[in-house]
Structure 1
Amino acid sequence: MSNKEKEIEGVSLLGNQQVSYHYDYNPEVLERFENKHQENDYFVKFNCPEFTSLCPITGQPDFATITLSYVPGVFMVESKSLKLYLFSFRDHGAFHEDCMNIIMKDLIKLMDPKYIEVWGKFTPRGGISIDPYCNYGKDGTDWLETAKQRLHMHDLYPEKIDNR
């Protein structure tokens, strides 16, 4: 094992050309690594414009852009494992709101972040788009109050929907 590999314990997917893609929900693919700046509070943001899941009733595909932001504690999510995890929803039947909450809860379990929010912006089906938002602030931190405030103030000034 090289020094670089030892430096990032727990990360096996990044750079691995033999990775298999799971077509149904698979949280076990998520990997984490240690946050090297635990003394700082800072946001990490992922924009995932190619999320796909299935309607649990019709089996029709649902497409979304997911924005995932978090303030790390001790651990951070490895981005390739996150990509593979989100891909695993491809043949998973769940409503939009369920998908966003599942993603948030799986990432809380993996990382124990100080704060996290997940916002799905789904393309319309039947003339309606659904944009579920969920968040979490860790008990015993200032981020618990931040989560409440952000949820209460969420989307007060909604975007103009002309790009979907």
Structure 2
Amino acid sequence: MEIKGLSHLGGKTEYKQDYAPEMLEAFENKHQGNDYWVTFDCPEFTSLCPITGQPDFATIRIDYIPDVKMVESKSLKLYLFSFRNHGAFHEDCINIIMKDLINLMNPKYIEVTGIFTPRGGISIYPYANWGREGTKYEKMAEERLLNHSIPL
């Protein structure tokens, strides 16, 4: 089965050696009239500390309410894996991921959470969210940010 515009699904897997937003692909949401959540968990996310070059490990959780486009899961996996040799702070990774997905899909609402494993005795859980301006999702983003709690 071929889906228009998707080149990674069903093809030979090619892993990029550094940050590769071009790996992301989208397809049409067949339920555009419905509001519903899509959640992705990537428990094997890795990136590199931009100062020491040491690896950082995390679970990345992406929750979004789609509109016209949705992210294709294999392309998302390849995209997230492209951070493996990329030097960026935890907070940068989360904001970069969120912005790339907004650019790809223009969802109604999105939030990205990083649950990073401890390094030097400290865990970091960055969270970023966005709701489409001028809609109820913009208000939702503000409320969820102000009432955000630590994901355990």
The TM tier, using the shorter chain, reads over 0.9
Partner secondary structure for residue 120 of structure 2: coil
**Among the aligned pairs, what percent are the same residue?**
69
Quick one: which amino acid aligns to residue 58 of structure 2? A
Inter-partner Cα distance in structure 2 for 1:115 and 1:22:
28
| TM-score normalized with structure 1 length | 0.90
Quick one: which amino acid aligns to residue 135 of structure 2? T
Residue equivalent to 2:96:
102
Displacement over 3 Å in runs of 4+: none
- Preserved CA contact (<8 Å) 2:46 2:84: yes
Deviation digits for residues 3-32 of structure 1, max 9, x if unmatched?
Answer: x42xx311111111x221002000001000
Q: 1:132 to 1:159 in 2, by over 3 A?
A: closer
Gaps of 5+ in 2: none
- Preserved CA contact (<8 Å) 2:115 2:151: no
Inter-partner Cα distance in structure 1 for 2:38 and 2:14:
26
- 1:29 equivalenced with 2:31 (yes/no): no
Q: How does 1:1-164 map to 2 (within 5 A)?
A: 4-5=1-2, 8-16=3-11, 18-155=12-149, 158=150
Quick one: which amino acid aligns to residue 143 of structure 2? Q
Q: CA offset at residue 159 of structure 1?
A: 5.5
Deviation digits for residues 82-135 of structure 1, max 9, x if unmatched?
Answer: 000000000000000000000000000000000000000000110001000000
Inter-partner Cα distance in structure 1 for 2:128 and 2:70:
19
Inter-partner Cα distance in structure 2 for 1:104 and 1:133:
10
Q: CA RMSD in A?
A: 1.0
Inter-partner Cα distance in structure 1 for 2:98 and 2:21:
11
Q: 1:142 to 1:121 in 2, by over 3 A?
A: same
Quick one: which amino acid aligns to residue 6 of structure 2? V
Aligned length: 152
Deviation digits for residues 49-106 of structure 1, max 9, x if unmatched?
Answer: 0000000000000000011000001000000000000000000000000000000000
Quick one: which amino acid aligns to residue 67 of structure 1? R
Q: 1:159 to 1:99 in 2, by over 3 A?
A: closer
Gaps of 5+ in 1: none
